[in-house]
Chains A and B, each alone.
Chain A
Amino acid sequence: MIRTLSTISVGLVALAAGCDRSSSPAEPTSIDAALRQDLARWGVIPIGPLPAQNSALVALGRTLMFDKILSGNRDISCATCHQPSEHAADGLSLAVGTGGTGLGQSRTLGPGRQFVPRNAPSLVNAGLGLFYLFWDGRISGFQSGPFTTPAGSALPPDLPNILAAQAMFPVVDRREMRGERGDRDVFGNPNELAQFGDSQFVEIWQAAMRRVLAIPEYVTMFNAAFPDMPTSRLGFQHAATAIAAFEMQPLTKTDSPFDRYLNRDDAGLTLEQKRGAVLFFGKARCSSCHNGPLLGGGQFANNGAPQLGPGRGAGAPLDFGHGDVVNNEIGRFTFRVAPLRNVELTAPYFHDGAYPTLAAVVRHYNDVPVALRGFDVSQLAPALRSLYHGDEATISAVLATLDFRLRQPLGLSNDEQRDVVAFLESLTDPSARDLRSLTPAAVPSGLPVQQ
């Protein structure tokens, strides 16, 4: 009997067991859980505070940023292309450098001038510790240096951060600020900065600094910002350091809804934004490039952007981007993957400002080859339409090195594209929407600020 019962009981157990385990697969049901897993997977973490900057240094940097005295023709300041009213950019596809007139989106080319080959990026959050600066990444390095720049060993060694290193270069660029040989400034005087050769970095910087220190008010401001530095030893690197300090303090904006979400506030994002974020880190594959704490900035990619503008370097009238810097065919048409904080405010988009809206950008990524071949020039400013390189040879060349992640369509529906845009809009710090208070009423040179 006992044996019989034992057999029965073992049978019952086996029957109850059925099989070891059955499980129906299920997706994570909490969108927050899914999103936070994605954030961890892509290394998206909160951004800590920037080190506090010396107020005298910031004040000097602000003044220099808006003073046209740094340009060869005394007709353009840093802020001309990085307007507070345009969220520290200019709202143009391609920047208009020296010789131009007007500000922001109404700025126009001067007679005989060409567009700057690339879009002027917003300076908001430029101080967050990017490793590469400029669209082609020609300046790179960790904050402590050394920095790789076009100036090579001519770069002063005492630059405190990469942003200061970057600030050394707009003044040496002829189209941006320095001007062409033979130019005269707004007062009709010869442009002494334009007389130097393009590789005479030191001489250009010294000449620019002579201009600045000829103004007593600047001497006072420099002495306050650099109290341990004799006036005779002040160089343009100190001006660049001050400009960088200005960029790092009032132009750092990291209190977006997304930043609040990163700091564990699940209510920081709306449901639509969360859906968009899940797409961003998943189906839309955006995060394969736009990842890390800054959602980009750390690598280069050919995103199939339409070729537009006068071109630059060996590829002109095309723009090989980073490929020109590294002199590498594989790298042709690759540009720095833009960090995305406040991207909503920095239209138009891509290295040449080819697209006016985020919706257009997402549509481009949804099927890059189709978008490139069907690029609609009517979305460009009239002055730029003739500069679009839509010939088959150019398009084929761009697609030849198209990033492998973009070669297949994403298959995003219209609703999904809207969700992705909603997520991108969640990257906006509300305080970055209006930066006009940063514009000083006047600068020591007496040159106009608001023209």
Chain B
Amino acid sequence: MTTSGVRAVCLSGLLAAWAETASAQLISIKTVPIAQGDQFEIFPSHNLAMGGVSIAVPDTLLDPFRNPAKGARLAAAPRFFGSPTFYGVSNGAGGGRTLPLAAVTQAGSWYGGLSLALQEVDPGRPPVGVAVPFVAQARASILPDVPDPGPDQGSHGNAYAFAMLGKVLAEPRLSLAGSVSWSRLTAVDGVDLLYPGSQALRQLGHAADFRVGMLKEWAGDRALEAVALHDRFGMTDDVTYLDSFWDPGTQRVLQRARVEHELDRTNTWGLHLQYERPLGASGWRVGWLATGNLMSHPKIPNYEIMNIPRDPGRSHAYNLGIGFSRTNGPATFGIDAIYEPIWSETWAEAVAPTETALGDTIPAGGKTVENHFRFSDAIFRMGISRALTVGSRAPAALLQLGLAARSIHYRLDQYDRVQVSGRNQVESWVEWTPTWGLSVRFPELELRYSGRVTKGTGRPGVGTRANGWALDASAVRAGSLLVAPSGPLTLDAVSVVTHQVSLSLPIR
């Protein structure tokens, strides 16, 4: 079993409100094509429906949540936002609903914003209970005496809070701002799928994110921004299993409960720089970005679906991107291309002195397995928008279309110090995300709808095979960062569909 897939889910959890659209600042790492519900796509975005382009096309709604210094642009026209967001994973493999509310305002050179969100996440388990492997293997005449309560089908809630405060220091504009966000999490999407055979999962944790941002704008519409961040993600998973055992007294397979206490911790330090400027007077703009993340993973859970015992790890991830855009009258086109080189190292530690194949002993706490990942990921985004006029009024509607593709490619070199053996593995896949949107602008408010569907990913045990659970446990592998998938990957293809309706109206 390996954790990977779950790890990806947790990392996206770590991204919290910044999720994929904020990937410029927090770099997401995945080692398996496991589907991640858009749990954290909760804040309003101008460009979400344009494939999420963001380097050379400002996203005035979302930018303040990425770089609080950019709140200065938004606060110039104080307003209130609401962006109810719904996502669902096909095959009944999960979903969620979120209601974020936000306000941004300005007082003199100071500006600030506040956002609160409540969320309900559905379990990702298939409706049919997942069999305990042991029991599934038992003779048909031997049935468990303990009633199977079945998987936990209830929804669980999360709460998010975000605040920012900034000041415009000088003209031409120089803004400095800080933000803090905090999330109380009792449900990270899809994690339940990664403990197959468990009967209940109780999640509790938090994500905290601290940012300091700077935005410098020069005449000529040139801008440089910088963000420094620290993010802490911590979850505790209490996983209840029903373990089967042979009862000699009754000659039957019975079951007893066992609770595993799994910790998931990741701390990230990051620095992000971005620059954009016009290209002549033709309406073209160009932008560049560069980001570095240092992550430490003091504890990684032993997900049941994974194959390799593991404990801590560390990663350093970078991205380099370039984007172009052109505004030509009512039409805007944007494109981003981002390359993400990532190095990640995880290892397993011996719980007790462990004998190796060479006959020597690894002391408790020594490394038993080392995983070295080398990623070459790429993100491409493109989108167009076209303003539509209705009658003689100013542009009253905006139609948006886009496409994002995320290519993930990595090589894993793994060394087993116990068996004194090594192997390598190369994995690659592409996730596709078409997007669409329509916004309608009235004099007193703006109403926006954005949708997206991500394909090319899957989830374990949600298909129709064997009631959703691969009979051959060895066939199910999932992994994300930090732990290597260790065998043939069997995920059932799913689509993740997200709908967001955002409402924006001026406060004054």
Contact = CB atoms under 8 A, between A and B. Distances in A.
B352 A48 contact: no
A37 B324 CA distance: 51
Contact of B488 (A25, A49, A252): A25
B307 A43 contact: no
Contact of A13 (B251, B369, B380, B416): B380
Contacts of B487: 26-28
Interface string B237-266: 000000111111111011000000000000
Interface stretch (B36-44, B99-107, B160-168, B417-425): B417-425
A48 B245 contact: yes
A50 B249 contact: yes
Contacts, number: 171
A229 interface: no
B487 to A, nearest CB: 5
B428 interface: yes
Interface in B114-156: 133-134, 137-139
Nearest to A41: B137
B198 to A, nearest CB: 14
Contact of A2 (B326, B419, B486): B326
A6 B245 contact: no
Interface in A84-110: none
A29 B407 contact: no
A46 B243 contact: yes
Interface stretch (B224-232, B353-361, B446-454): B353-361
Contacts of A37: 473-474
Given A20-B456, A24-B426, A129-B247, A2 B472 contact: no
A34 B486 CA distance: 10
A51 B484 CA distance: 44
Q: Per DSSP, are chain A's interface residues mostly helix, strand or loop, or mixed? A: loop
Interface stretch (A72-80, A148-156, A266-274): A266-274
B33 interface: yes
B351 A46 contact: no
A5 interface: yes
Counting chain A residues whose Cβ lies within 8 A of the other chain, the interface size class is 35 or more
Contacts of B464: none
B174 interface: no
B333 interface: yes
Interface string B474-495: 1000000000111111000000
A293 B357 CA distance: 29
A225 interface: no
Contact of B324 (A5, A22, A32): A5
Given A28-B307, A48-B246, A129 B251 contact: yes
Given A5-B335, A30-B308, A271-B419, A294 B246 contact: yes
Nearest to B354: A267
A19 B430 CA distance: 8
17 contacts: A2-B326, A2-B333, A18-B428, A20-B429, A23-B428, A24-B427, A26-B486, A27-B423, A29-B423, A41-B473, A42-B137, A50-B249, A129-B248, A143-B249, A267-B351, A271-B419, A293-B253
Given A9-B335, A129-B249, 8 more contacts: A9-B337, A16-B407, A24-B426, A29-B307, A30-B486, A41-B133, A45-B243, A45-B246
